[in-house]
Amino acid sequence: MRQWWTVVRYMSRCAQKKYEPVSISRSLRDNTPEAYGIMREALIKIERSTTVDSMPMLTEKELAANEVIMREKEVELEHGYLEPTSGSADQPMSKVLNTIRGTLLFQLLQKMPKGGILHAHDTALCSSAYLIELTYRENLWICTTDEGCKAIAFRFSIEKPTVKAMEECNWESMEEFRERRGEKNVVKYLLRRFSMFPVSSYESNNAAWKDFMSIFILIDGLLLYAPVWRDYYYHALEELHADGVQYLELRSVMPNLYCIDGEQLDVMETMEIYRSETERFKASHPDFIDAKIIYAPLRIVEPKACEEYIKTCTAFKKKYPTFLAGFDLVGQEELGRPLKDFVEPLLKMPLDINFFFHAGETNWYGTSIDENLVDAVLLGTKRIGHGYAIVKHPFVMDLIKQLDIAIEVCPVSNFVLQLGLDYFNHPAATMIANGVPIVISSDDPSFWLAAPLTHDFYYAFLGIAPFHSDLRFLKQMATNSLRYSAMSDEDKQKAFEKWQGQWDKWIDDVANK
């Protein structure tokens, strides 16, 4: 035991980034089994103290609930011990979607108050079942090509639509379309077109994105009809609330909505629909905290177009100073322009408008694509969307930790869009190990038939977080979603109080199982 204390002090200094040289004169093997055991325990404690789930303390009731949670976690992971590819956390969600929903762990997580979703997109929230319901509304037309075999657009109109960009397609009413193809066939067909399943893998990231973007294009005419847009957003809040979500920061391209006569509404009217429906929902759901909008137009534009984005965002901020959360640029990073191309106009953004940039949603290393992470930090982003490539930039990763910039991790999205092969090797595991602040989000759950947030929590808990992670990790992720939100400090305090009330009820329920 001559040197174990020296080694422990050395490890402690390293963990605290105090790189003082410590001389270890003898081999670590020159020890008694007792000394080795003490050093091993110390090293593991120091290493675990740096992870993001090391902070929360558990009450007596939470400890009782934790026993239930960990028992069910053990059940879920049991198959993976003997055969690493047989457990639910080891497989693409498309193969185990219904199996996961039927587990007790999933059901416990679904009822868990998860705080907020800080990364989600406007037309990819509601379930496919709700989209199917919308197709039964009056005056809906469908546009098909290839002799009526493929649907490419929808449109609400009293008479047959006349859309200049779609002059060559075949418009027919949804009633005619159902009659021609059969009710059951249409439902089955639309369920496939509204999601990326049953396809479980693609030949490349670009192939996945092509299918992904085709859904947005297809449903635009269905959802951008002003009355539907209002109902869709409200129903999205209902589905989120039922999934244990109390707060939302929604990224919206802020489209021009249209009326039944073809008239287009101003984007301010789109924002007003968001605001009024949020207030209506809060009035009928007092435990719901709030929702805010991140104005997030497409990045596949010329830099000059960003000038208009800035003007629009500034106008939003002036009229909706607290409802607007901030600004982002969205779309596939590989095909869109890098942030550095927009630096000049972005630096003109008023300082009271926060940035929440997508950055590093890529497998590339050392390109302008993954270097979006550098520009996001230099531009003062408050959070980073995805940040998948951050572990390849250790200095930037350490910097965002020091600056307390949270990374919005979207586990299911990353793998559906072909960034990784299994959850155990997700970069967020390295982020957690290094104490980088993260929040768990869902991105576009509608497109992969997922619950608004529970599936992402499920995979984060079973596949990404350390094996020993327990209720403390889940609690940390829930509270992080409020801590790193765009709410004011005063509103955050009120939000934590609402969340805590729901959390305590859930803990009581779980502890009594």
Active site residues: 361, 386
User: For residue 212, which of 444, 513, 510 has the smallest C-alpha distance?
Assistant: 444
H helical segments located in 245-347: 267-284, 303-319, 343-346
Structure tokens at 236: 């999205």
CA distances, 511 to each of 65, 244, 378, 471 (Å): 4, 18, 46, 12
Distance (Å, whole) CA 128 – CA 131: 5
Measured at the alpha carbon of residue 3, what is the angle toward residues 2 and 7, in degrees to the nearest 5?
Answer: 160
Structure tokens at 345: 């106009």
DSSP secondary structure code for residue 31 in this structure? S
Structure tokens at 230: 């209002």
Phi and psi at residue 245, to the nearest 5°: -105, 130
Distance (Å, whole) CA 160 – CA 173: 8
User: For residue 249, which of 119, 352, 358, 125 has the smallest C-alpha distance?
Assistant: 119
Query: Exposed e or buried b for every residue in 432-452, given b needs 16+ CB within 10 A?
Result: bebbbbbbbbbbbbbbbbbbb
Residues 6+ apart with CB under 8 A from 136: 174
Distance (Å, whole) CA 99 – CA 79: 13
Residues 6+ apart with CB under 8 A from 272: none
Could you tell me how far CA 44 lies from the centroid of its own chain? 31
Distance (Å, whole) CA 204 – CA 201: 8
Structure tokens at 81: 């011990």
Cis ω before 198 (30° cut-off from 0): yes
- What is the chain's Cα-based Rg? 25
Kindly list the strands in the beta sheet with 170-173, ordered across the sheet, starting from the edge strand earlier in the chain: 150-156, 140-145, 170-173
